[in-house]
Amino acid sequence: MENIKGKVIAITGASSGIGEAIARHLSSLGAKVALCARRIDELEKITHDISKNGGQAIYKKVDVTQPDEVKGFVAFIVGEFKTVDVFINNAGVMPLSMINAYKINEWHTMIDVNIKGVLHGVAAVLPIFEEKDSGQFINITSVGDRWVGPTSTVYSATKFAVRAISEGLRQEVSDNIRVTIVAPGATESELAESISDPELKKLAVEKFKINLLPAEAIARAVAFAVSQPADVDVNELVVRPTAQKAY
């Protein structure tokens, strides 16, 4: 993990779950981490913990659906740490529902956060990566980026989109800018909390509660991708619980 120490790493959706685990783990390996999310009280607690343990962390309240806020986050990081080396697009929502439930507002929310939020991150930091001809994007998708099932239609569509964006970005940027997808299977997070149908939420929790990966497992996968030498681009990592077979 020598290549992680001293790197400036930005993480969206860092107030809980996978984003929080990534921030804590990478900081423990010597990275300087910049956290953003909408819940500033949680960000403050996590940043305080990291600093107390000898790490370097900063935070800013950001709504990734607002491009100016994401751009401001990047400017804030550069002001504090002088540069950005890795940008982790982690923010996401998963309000599962059947199409004929017609939860159109939830569809729009998923598109705004899961797709546009990633694009806003890319647009905000790519100029920095291009100027110094180095950097790494890590986009946290889901096994839903390659699988669709009942209730996941729109959610999976957003993750398929991020997979396509990541592949296109990888081909368009210079050879010295890396692009990685990390696709978690069933993992401990607050994603199920965004399901508005009480029965469906209960079913989702019951279905996955036995086989959930700890969020730290995804953090370790991210660390693996970041730690590779500059000429090694880990394009995709799919991380499932061993008991999760078919989806």
The DSSP 8-state label assigned to residue 188 in this structure reads S
One of 59, 102, 155, 247 is an active-site residue; which one? 155
Calculate the alpha carbon distances from 191 to 102, 196, 204 in Å: 20, 11, 10
Q: Is 102 a catalytic residue?
A: no
* Sheet order of strands, 56-61 included: 56-61, 32-37, 8-11, 86-89, 135-140, 177-184, 236-239
Residue of 63, 110, 95 lying closest to 193 (CA atoms): 95
Residue 30 and residue 182: Cα distance in Å, rounded? Answer: 21
Calculate the alpha carbon distances from 109 to 78, 116, 193 in Å: 29, 10, 14
For residue 182, the Cα-to-chain-centroid distance in whole angstroms is: 8
Residue 112 and residue 66: Cα distance in Å, rounded? Answer: 9
Catalytic residue annotation:
155
